[in-house]
Chains A and B, each alone.
Chain A
């Protein structure tokens, strides 16, 4: 059974993956060993594929380091739910096909609670109780579903347009 990991406000990229644990400094093969290595040292060894992160405001603020969301994808995080995301993190996660949902749940769900998420429908089930998360725009979901922005570009021969002109 997957579980929920609850974090607070303003979790910056130095907490998600400190600069000195970047693949540039260590090795690509070890990327999954380091998420939250100092902020929450048990995370990397206890996290299981399908687990969900629920956080406060401004998750992922700070650096443009794409290896921060990439490390979370590497350990199998199914989705991140926050009232707001820092802009570069949001776009990096989208580009990597890591689903983000905008909702304020950190006071409603317990750290360690059993939970599952259906990333297509946005239905989060916690302790048998299901709730619908606000769905992201269709074109964003399409980027996740196709595995990220590069896969999208290769599939369609163009950038994800959304309502772009």
Chain B
């Protein structure tokens, strides 16, 4: 609808506009979906639901669909290789042009790089971290296979309009502290279901880079949030044009407002096995690590690799520590080669993997064994998440990861 009433949150505006009704938090709407993202892990179920359950002759609109091979890429077994062949056949049969095969990168990063999500749109993905699209002002949310199949077949789905938590960011981050530290701080403060069924809006940081916005929006998933959104303003998103009906409304109603003083925020770490077990990194200096993993849709972007390289430049990873770097996309990998970031990381002793999800989901490319400790820049540290259930995963920023790789113990950059 062209004329939205006043007093709506960003989520209420986007869902109302799409549904053609003025909808408030708590209401249910049916809305067209601008983009459907599906990756190799759930697409087999989506195809099954579309073809054998819905008996859909074809998808509603192949242009609205984007398909990725990133979760197990390259294939780690004959079973996954065969599943990926079926996926490629289906993509060809449906005429899906937005297909990103092994090595292009993690779905969320590439969706934003390729401009497949835009301000004011609705995008759903068969991945819980589809909240990342809020970095460009898109209402992005994760769904399962049958919700995806319905949207692919009909071009729409139903949504409960979420209540919204407003986060006001004050001041600027200190040296060695970055977006991930804000996210982990919020996880500790609000808890793992602090935003369940709700949206999160970030305000007060038009200076923030797009990479950092992606980290923050993506991590709202760990609060249970349905979406995490920035209104696109500032130099980092000057290339985006928000629709004229989308704007932060001072009269919008929020269920909660949280103020965060960035100046006072130290580096944060989430201890296993839950993302809300958050402690300042400085308090964990006695924790020894075996593997440091820098990558994923959370923190595998160019800014993240550069931050790590700045700390590792001219130094070597501690003996006995493995440093695994997996850029979130091929473009990032290429940029890191061109600007020397990758050379710096390699000189420090890093191993580099194919752009994609890597070992984040515990399936390939660096899973951990019983009793091993990983310091990861990913988003989850659940028991068994990255491999053996007796392995331990600590989560933190790329800066803390790099400092930790240098000393072999969890290390706040400030203490180096």
Contact = CB atoms under 8 A, between A and B. Distances in A.
A84 interface: yes
Best-surrounded residue of B29, B40, B144 (most CB of chain A within 10 A): B144
B77 interface: yes
Nearest to B55: A154
A86 B150 contact: no
A156 interface: no
A161 interface: yes
B142 A149 contact: no
Contacts of B389: 18, 38-39
Interface in B45-64: 45, 49, 53-55
Contact of A91 (B30, B147, B367, B383): B147
A160 interface: yes
Contacts of A45: none
Interface string B8-27: 00000000000101010001
Given A62-B128, A86-B224, A161 B158 contact: yes
A159 B196 contact: no
A14 interface: yes
A6 B92 CA distance: 46
Contacts of A159: 30, 150, 154, 156-158
Given A19-B361, A65-B42, A165-B21, A58 B193 contact: yes
A66 B380 contact: no
A113 interface: no
B36 interface: no
A123 interface: no
Contact of A64 (B23, B42, B83): B42
14 contacts: A14-B383, A19-B385, A25-B80, A58-B193, A62-B382, A64-B143, A84-B193, A86-B196, A92-B146, A95-B146, A149-B146, A161-B28, A164-B29, A165-B27
Interface of A: 10, 12, 14-15, 18-20, 22-27, 38-39, 57-58, 61-67, 70, 84, 86-88, 91-92, 95-96, 148-150, 153-154, 159-165
Given A62-B128, A66-B45, A87-B226, 6 more contacts: A88-B143, A92-B144, A149-B147, A154-B55, A159-B158, A161-B158
Nearest 3 pairs between A and B by C-beta?
Answer: A66-B144, A164-B28, A92-B144
